[in-house]
Amino acid sequence: MRERAKRTVAERRSQRTDPDWPAIYEIRVEGHLGHAWTGWFEGLSIALEDDGDTVMTGAVVDQAALHGLLKRVRDIGVPLVSVIRLEPDPAPRPTEEGD
């Protein structure tokens, strides 16, 4: 029992499969970034908005990866506008034959 209490939350979490990850995130920054930044931001898609912002969207495997992406935003010195976790598309419902 005592050994079980010593395990950290991170250790317990890493030992189970979390159905909430990977999650889809939308990261919005001020200013336009070129598509060449896609590799720097680990494959997120980059969209340049008419309002001058850049929106990066894609799957993020876990909280550590999300924090890594946010550190990269900080490192290039662009203002962070928002971070939104998007709801996944619902799975298609099975249909009966003949529908």
Provide the whole-model pTM: 0.69
> Using CA atoms, how far apart are residues 27 and 24, in angstroms rounded to an integer?
10
* Residues 22-33: tens digit of each pLDDT: 999 999 999 999
List the CATH number of the domain containing 77: 3.30.70.1150
Residue 95 lies in a domain: no
Residue 3 lies in a domain: no
Identify the CA nearest to 26 among candidates 8, 11, 10, 47.
Answer: 47
Identify the CA nearest to 54 among candidates 82, 24, 75.
Answer: 82
Residue 96 lies in a domain: no
Residue 4 lies in a domain: no
Residue 42 lies in a domain: yes
The total domain count for the chain is 1
**Which range of residues forms the domain containing residue 48?**
19-86
pLDDT at 46: 94
Residue 61 lies in a domain: yes
pLDDT at 16: 45
Strands (E), 1-99: 23-30, 45-48, 53-60, 80-86
* Residues 43-88: tens digit of each pLDDT: 899 999 999 999 999 999 999 999 999 999 999 999 999 999 998 7
Residue 2 lies in a domain: no
